[in-house]
Structure 1
Amino acid sequence: MAPQDYNNGVPGLPYFTPKHITSPGTPAPNAQQNGSTPTLFTPLTIRGTTLRNRILVAPMCQYSTASEGPTTGALTDYHIATLGHYALKGAGLVFIEATGVQANGRISPNCPGLWSDSQIPALRRVSDFIKSQGAQSGIQLAHAGRKASTCAPWIAGAQKTAGGTRKVSVKADVDAGGWPSNVVGPMGGQEWAWDEKAADDESSGYWAPRALSEEEIGGLVQDWAAAAQRAVKAGIDVIEIHGAHGYLIHQFLSPVTNQRTDKYGGSFENRTRILVEIIKAIRAVVPDSMPVYLRISSTDWMEETEKGKKLGSWDVESSIRLAKLLPGLGVDLLDVSSGGNHPEQRINMFDSKDYQIKIAAQIRAELKKENLGLFIGAVGLITEAEQARDIVEEGGAADAAASQISDTELAKEARAAVKVTEGKEPLADVVLVARQFMREPEWVLRVAWQLGLDVAWPNQFLRVRFPKL
């Protein structure tokens, strides 16, 4: 028996897990494929890392860490069980959910954090297992700003107002592990609470923030860099900065939520200053070989609202302007989402069809015009194999627009994207998927099967592979 025939373990781990014969989610060696390999299942090198395919697991809040005691904010075996399974089943990169760079930066008391060295060992356990299955490990570093100190959504879902309306959010008070007096944002006062409701309104779900001082902003930037250093020590491959969905960075970017009169408010340069400082601080302390991603909300979806018309808003043009700055700052990939900054937004980001994919294509096209090197990630309701394939395929927009699904929302958006990309360029370079992985942890393997591509499965699952089409 040759050495490669033995059941070898993954080196460098304190426990045994089999080393896969071929990395799951990659084309099976010597397999008879039906046509050429889709771009979706080809590797992509970004700085010193190579994705085994273009399917990434987007960060998903799970509200599953301790809210008190010595393990506050530390990842647990739950995260190995969930995130590890996505890696086992072939995802190219698995992101750990929004992780607070400060204790008061968590969305809820049960969200993870990386403000202390004591949180490194648990993060390393999760990262090590993800990487042992052939995927890259990523972490999204975040600060919730004025959306902090709320309870897990199932807590809100179980409560109703006196009028019978289900609550969307419930404030986490001190007795629930929250920090009502230390919720922060660009602006301060009850009128700047996310839902803009009075404190004594029974449906109020968010605390009033206090405005950060310039000195506190400087400390926050350094805390972001310190969290990035801890991520490196934990063996993380990729860092993503969370600048989307109405959390702190997004709050600074948008004039809807930033009416400051100091150097962090007013002009585009001032409103983006905190983000630029965070990027520079992180890039200065992580290895040159380490990719840095940025997630943004490409639009507030507030342009047509009275508030948006009065104050201005963050829109696609603002995002394109920001995107053009990113390569020079050392950002490698822009993860394009939208919304979340104000309850009056015109579109629910959890039911946004494929608008975000169209916007990602538009940003990518504008960068290409100026020969700027920035990878683009598309996210949002990506659930189907052909849809994922066409997003990253050269000419994929044209294929989708001309396909049998011409009367669907996907095709309508694809036709619009053809105009943006002239039907030649991909709409994006990678896809980021969240909810579909929660429904189907084996989604990567199913997508390959539906596309007629024979990919490697985990050693332990070879006997139950999908039948060949």
Structure 2
Amino acid sequence: MLYSPIKFRNIELQNRWVMSPMCMYSAIEGMPNDFHLVHYGSRAQGGTGLLIAEATGVVPEGRITNGCTGIWNDEQAESFRRIVDFVHQHSKSKIGIQLAHAGRKASTWNGKQISLEEGWQTVAPSPIPYMEGERIPHELSVEEINGLVQKFKEAAQRAVNAGFDVIEIHAAHGYLLHQFLSPLSNNRTDEYGGSFENRCRFLLEVVEAVNEVLDDNHPLFVRISATEYAENGWDLDDSVKLAQLLKEKKVDLVDVSSGGNIHGARISVFDGYQVPFAAKIRKEAGIATGAVGLITEVKQAEEILQKGDADLIFVAREILRNPYLAIKGALETHEECFFPKQYERAKK
């Protein structure tokens, strides 16, 4: 099953391996460069079914750091096009991009907030900093929220123009859209705060806007944090309800991670620790899910799929260690997988 194809809209992935979006902190003014070409190109040569480019800012102040990629202008999109074209020309991989806004967790380096001179003023649903001692984020007005919905839409259009196959919206890990979802970071009293429906409104508006520029050849994924491991915070039951709404809004897959919004939250980490979240959402919301979280071996990934816990396997650290993870697994299990013709002599 791990090496069986799967379709989302009209896009078919050659296998169920996905390279998770991971920040590389190597861009200049949001522009991807030769590092990114080699980074993504090598994983495509490694047989990965889908690559998802790192969290990419839809506006300059949406970046996590000064070294993060952006797609708020056409020049950045053209730089991405070179990477997308390479992946398409030299592999069977598909490539997506994660559109993001870091909100109150922006303007950082090495996990610490940087000065206004080096960085920028952060924004959030409410004037609550992520960590004690950080600058108070600017509380977004309704007009500013509406403007950001448009920025996500424009970024999605640039991504489509650059040739990306899949669009993913980042609503996890304590970044802006997640901040709106959580009652611990959102204490607004207008239509974007208070009730569950109001706290979901911003994300759902972004989903609707992005879908306006997508067609049957461009699936839409959303990454969420299934729980934030905090009392009275966003939890798994909330995520199931959200996933049901996302399905109604024509989201094709929920990429299920966890945590990131509450500083100091205690998380018990072990191999596959987030898989049960993906399983519950898949079963109860009736939507395709991606499993992520210390998945390192072919047998482990196959079992997740065979049990019906997820539809895709998102891999992060292991694919950094081994760009040829998919090929290696296929050779071990005697499955079919893309193999670069230039390397055929190493196949046997």
Number of the residue aligned with 1:365: 283
Q: 1:87 and 2:44 equivalent?
A: yes
Deviations 1:402-457 (A, max 9, x none): xxxxxxxxxxxxxxxxxxxxxxxx11001011111110111111112232335442
Number of the residue aligned with 2:170: 242
RMSD over aligned CA atoms reads 1.3
TM-score (norm 1): 0.72
Number of the residue aligned with 2:180: 252
Gaps of 5+ in 2: none
Number of the residue aligned with 1:418: none
Q: 1:171 and 2:113 equivalent?
A: yes
Q: 1:430 and 2:312 equivalent?
A: yes
Deviations 1:16-38 (A, max 9, x none): xxxxxxxxxxxxxxxxxxxxxxx
Number of the residue aligned with 1:51: 13
**Structure that is richer in strand per residue:** 2
Moved more, 338-347 or 275-284: 338-347
Within-5 A mapping of 1:91-240: 91-132=48-89, 133-151=91-109, 153=110, 169-176=111-118, 178-179=119-120, 182-188=121-127, 192-195=128-131, 197-198=132-133, 206-240=134-168
What secondary structure sits across from 1:355 in the alignment?
Answer: coil
Report the residue type matching 2:84 in the other structure. Answer: S
* Change over 3 Å in CA distance of 1:144–1:193 after alignment to 2: same
Report the residue type matching 1:134 in the other structure. Answer: K
Deviations 1:273-308 (A, max 9, x none): 000100000011222331000000000111xxxxx2
Q: Distance in 1 between matches of 2:226 and 2:70?
A: 26
Corresponding residue to 1:331 among 231, 251, 256: 251
Gaps of 5+ in 1: 1-38, 67-71, 154-168, 199-205, 303-307, 397-425
Number of the residue aligned with 1:35: none
Deviations 1:154-205 (A, max 9, x none): xxxxxxxxxxxxxxx22222443x11xx2000111xxx2212x22xxxxxxx
Q: Distance in 2 between matches of 1:287 and 1:230?
A: 14
Q: Distance in 2 between matches of 1:75 and 1:352?
A: 33
What secondary structure sits across from 1:82 in the alignment?
Answer: helix
Q: Distance in 2 between matches of 1:245 and 1:353?
A: 19
Moved more, 288-297 or 451-460: 451-460
Corresponding residue to 1:355 among 263, 267, 273: 273
* Change over 3 Å in CA distance of 1:172–1:322 after alignment to 2: same
Corresponding residue to 1:443 among 325, 336, 347: 325
**Aligned-pair CA distance for 1:117:** 1.6
Report the residue type matching 2:313 in the other structure. Answer: V
What secondary structure sits across from 2:108 in the alignment?
Answer: coil
**8 A contact 1:65–1:73 mirrored in 2:** yes
Structure with larger Rg = 1
Number of the residue aligned with 1:277: 205
Number of the residue aligned with 2:299: 386
**8 A contact 1:292–1:333 mirrored in 2:** yes
**Aligned-pair CA distance for 1:352:** 4.8
**8 A contact 1:147–1:194 mirrored in 2:** yes
Which stretches of structure 1, 4 residues or more, deviate above 6 A after TM superposition?
Answer: none
**Aligned-pair CA distance for 1:119:** 1.2
**Aligned-pair CA distance for 1:355:** 2.7
Q: Distance in 2 between matches of 1:246 and 1:211?
A: 16
Residues matched between the structures, number: 347
**8 A contact 1:145–1:247 mirrored in 2:** yes
Q: Distance in 1 between matches of 2:21 and 2:217?
A: 22
Corresponding residue to 2:225 among 276, 288, 297: 297
Q: Distance in 1 between matches of 2:298 and 2:81?
A: 32
